[in-house]
Copies of this chain bind each other. A is one copy, B any other.
Amino acid sequence: MMETIIDTKTELRLANWASVTRRSPLQEILTSASRPGIISLALGMPDENLFPSAEFAQAAQRVLATDPRALQYGPHFQPLKAQVVELMKRRGVDCREEQVFLTAGAQQGMCLLARILLEPGSEVIAEELIYTGFQQVIEPFQPKVLTVPTSLETGMDVDAVEAHLKSGARPAFIYVISTGHNPLSVSLSRDKRVRLVELARRYGVPLIEDDAYGFLSYSGELEAPLRALDEQYVLYVGSFSKIVAPALRIGWLIVPEALIKPLSIVKESTDIDSTTFPQRVLSAYLETGTLAGHIKHLCYHYGLRRDTMLEALREHFPEGSRWTTPSSGMFIWLENDKVDAAELFNTALSKARVAFLPGFVFSVGPVRLKPNSIRLNFSYCSPENIREGIARLGRLIND
C-alpha cells in the first residue's frame, strides 16, 4: 500500500535506476484517499472551493479574445516576470526580472536545478524527513544524501550542517524548506536562517530554498526567506499552486543571472519551454490586483482550519500526543509513542474512513524514521470535516 516497486513486466530493457525507483506514496494515496466518503487529511492540496475560479475564467476569456499569440509557441511571458518581482517584495525579497525563471510549477523548478547541479556521485545535504517529491527529483542521480535532524521548534539543525561541511563534505547543494516545512510544519528561526546563509557563503555551497508555502501566514508576519539574505548562494523556488491554483502548473525560480541560460537549455529539452497560454492568463489575473486580497482570504480560511484542527486534537487525542502549531504551510505534525503509524493508516482508512500520511513516508533513505508520527493536512477539508476526521482518528487511537 505505502510503496510500490516498479513492475517491469515488459520485454524492453529499462535504465537501471528506473527499474528500482519507487512510486511516490502520494500518488498511491491520491487514489485511495480520493474515494467517495473518505475524509482526506492526507495530501497537501489547497481547497478548490477557495480558488479564484471566476476571476481566472474572466482572465482566460480576456486573453483568448484579445491575444492571437496566446496559444502559439513563444518565449516566457515577460510581464509575468515583472509581476513575480513585485510579489517577492511581499516576502521581503528584492530581485530583478533577469533573475526570474518561470517553470511549470515548483516541482519542475527543483527538477531543473537538480539537473544542472547534480551528477552521479554528487553529495547533497537534506533533513531526515522531507517532501517526497524532492526525493524523487534527486533519485535518478543517486546522490549520497548527508542527512541532518530537524527541531520541531526552530527547524533544520544548522550545527549538523556545519559539522558535515567541516568534516570535508562539499555537497552540490543543501535543500531546505524554510517556511511551513513539509512534513514537519516548522519554520526556520531567524537565527538559523542567518547562520545557514553564512555557511553557504563560507563553503561555497548553494542552498535550494523551497518556499512553496511561504505566502501562507497564520500567526502574523513570517520571517523573510533565505533569498532575502543572499542572492548568490540561495536558489529560491516559488509556486502559484498554493496561492492561485495547482492546475496552472506555474512556479518560478529566483537565481543568479548566470544560471538562467543553463536552466533554459534544460527546460527546452524537457518540454520546449513554451507555456504562453497559462502564463498569459495568470498574468491577466494578476493584473486585476486582487491577489493580495485573495491571499488574505486564504490565510483567514486556512488559519481557521488550522485552529479547528488544533482544538479537535486537544478534545479528542489521548495524553502523550504532541503536535506542532504551525505559523505557515498546510500541515500539523503529530507524535504519539503508542501509535504505529502504518497500522493506524490502514485501520483509519478501512474503519474510520479517514486518510492521513504516516510520518515515515517522508524519511530520506530506506530506514522508516518516526514510526510514531503522522502528518495531518488542514487546508483541503472544510472545518466540519476536519472536526469529524480528527474525532474519528481520536476514537481509533483511544480504543
Contact = CB atoms under 8 A, between A and B. Distances in A.
Interface of A: 4, 6-19, 21-24, 27, 30-31, 43, 45-46, 48-49, 51, 53, 56-57, 60-61, 64-65, 68-75, 104-105, 107-108, 111, 115-120, 122, 133, 136-137, 139-140, 172, 204, 206, 232-233, 241, 245-249, 256, 258-259, 261-262, 264-266, 268-278
The 4 closest A-B pairs by CB, nearest first: A10-B258, A136-B269, A71-B245, A247-B277
Given A53-B70, A246-B272, A247-B274, 4 more contacts: A7-B261, A14-B116, A15-B116, A105-B271
A248 B271 CA distance: 12
B45 A271 contact: no
A53 B72 CA distance: 11
A265 B23 contact: yes
Contacts of A258: 7-10, 12
Nearest to A241: B73
B271 A107 contact: yes
21 contacts: A6-B261, A8-B262, A11-B232, A12-B233, A15-B115, A15-B117, A15-B122, A23-B264, A24-B269, A53-B64, A57-B60, A57-B65, A71-B247, A72-B245, A104-B249, A104-B271, A107-B270, A115-B140, A247-B274, A249-B272, A271-B271
A262 B75 contact: no
A120 B120 contact: yes
A270 B270 contact: yes
Nearest to A75: B30
A96 to B, nearest CB: 15
B256 A277 contact: no
Given A247-B276, A265-B21, A71 B45 contact: no
A14 B71 contact: no
Contact of A14 (B31, B60, B61, B262): B262
A12 B71 contact: no
Contacts of A206: 12
A246 B72 contact: yes
Contacts of A120: 120
A255 to B, nearest CB: 9
